[in-house]
Structure 1
Amino acid sequence: MTMEEILSYVDGLGDVLTVRPAPGDGSPEISWGDAFFYLAPDGVNPTEPQPFATIVTKDYPGDESSRLDRPDTFRVNVAAGRDAFARWTGHEPREAGAPGRPTDAVAADAEDTVFAHPVYGALGWLAVVNPGPPTDGATRELLREAHRLARARYERRAETG
C-alpha cells in the first residue's frame, strides 16, 4: 500500500477530516508530510482532540524505534481499540511496555507486520511500517475499526450531550 492509497481508503470511510501539515500552515515543521485522520461529520471540526489514525513519515523525539529515517519508509498508526489490540498482540493494551513484561515478538521496525505501537501501545494503538500485500487487508480492517470506534464515541456523546 502506498501512502496515497491509504489516504484514499480512509477518505472513503466517510466523515473523515484528513489533516496534512505543510509549510506555511502554522503547523510544527516536524509534522510536515504526515497525515492525521479525524472523524468530522461537519467536514471541518474534528469530534475528538486525538486522531483515530495517523501516517508518519519520520522519527519523532522519543519514537525512533521504527527507524522511519530509512528511504521510502512510513508507518500507519491506528487507534484499534482493546479488542483488536488483544487479537493482534495476544495481550491487553495496558500490558504493552509494562515493567517486567517481555518485549513483543515483533520489532517496531519490522516492515509489513502489525505490531503494538512503540509509544501508544498501552492506549490500544497498533502500527504497520510500509504495509504491503501481506498486511493490506489487516491495515484496512484496522482503519475501519478505528473509524467505527470514533463514530461510536461521537454518537454516544451526541446522545448524552
Structure 2
Amino acid sequence: MTMDEIIGFVGGLEGVLTLKPGPGDGSPELSWGDTFFYYSPDGVVPAATQPFATIVTKDYPGDETSRLDRPGAFRVNISAGKEEFVRRTGHAPREPATTDPSAMDTLIAHPVYGALGWLAVVNPGPRTEAATRELLHTAYRLARSRYERRAEATAG
C-alpha cells in the first residue's frame, strides 16, 4: 500500500477530516509530510481529541525504533482499541511487545502508544494490506462512536 492509497481509503470514509501539515499552515515543522485522520463531520479538528490514525514519514524524538529515516519508509499508526489489539497481537496492550518495530509489512504494537491500544505497520505490503484496511476501518468506527457519544452528551 502506498501512502496515497491509504489516504484515499481513509479519506473516503464519511465524516473523515484529513490533515496534511505543511509550510505556511501554522503547524510544527516536524509534522510536515505526515497525515492525520480525525472523525469530524463538520470539518473542524475536534477539541481535545487525538486522530484515530496517522501516517508518519520520519522519526520523532523518542520514537526512532521504526527507523523511518530509511528512504521511502513510513508508518501507519492505528488506534485499534484494546479488544482488536489483543486479537491481533495475542497480548494485552501494556505487556511488552516482542516484534521488531522496524520490520516492514508486519503488524506491530505501536512503539510508543502500544500501551494505549495503538497498532502500527511500517510500509504495509501484501502481508498486511487486508489487516491494515480492516484496522483503519475499526479505528474509524471507534472514533465515530466516541464523537456521537460526546455529541449526545452535549445535546442532552
TM-score normalised by L of structure 2: 0.95
Equivalent pair of 1:38/1:48 in contact (CA under 8 Å)? no
Residue in 2 aligned with 1:144? 137
| Between 66-75 and 17-26, the greater mean CA deviation after superposition | 17-26
AA of the residue aligned to 2:46:
P
CA pair 48-149 structure 1, distance change in 2 beyond 3 A: farther
* SS of structure 1 residue aligned to 2:120: strand
Runs of 4+ with deviation above 6 angstroms: none
Alignment of 1:1-161 (within 5 A): 1-46=1-46, 49-95=49-95, 97=96, 104-161=97-154
Quote the Cα distance in structure 2 between the aligned partners of 1:56 and 1:62: 14
| Structure 2: 5+ residue stretches without partners | none
* SS of structure 1 residue aligned to 2:63: coil
* SS of structure 2 residue aligned to 1:8: helix
AA of the residue aligned to 1:128:
V
| Structure 1: 5+ residue stretches without partners | 98-103
TM-score normalised by L of structure 1: 0.92
The superposition leaves residues 42-98 of structure 1 with CA deviations (integer Å, 9 ceiling, x where unpaired) of: 122336521000000000000000000000000000000001100111111122x4x
Quote the Cα distance in structure 2 between the aligned partners of 1:80 and 1:146: 5
Q: Size of the alignment, in residue pairs?
A: 154
Identity of aligned residues (%): 69
Equivalent pair of 1:47/1:154 in contact (CA under 8 Å)? no
Quote the Cα distance in structure 2 between the aligned partners of 1:52 and 1:3: 16
* SS of structure 2 residue aligned to 1:134: coil
Equivalent pair of 1:17/1:46 in contact (CA under 8 Å)? no
Quote the Cα distance in structure 2 between the aligned partners of 1:135 and 1:154: 28
The Cα of 1:156 is off from its aligned counterpart by: 1.3
CA pair 125-19 structure 1, distance change in 2 beyond 3 A: same
CA pair 126-106 structure 1, distance change in 2 beyond 3 A: same
Quote the Cα distance in structure 1 between the aligned partners of 2:8 and 2:106: 21
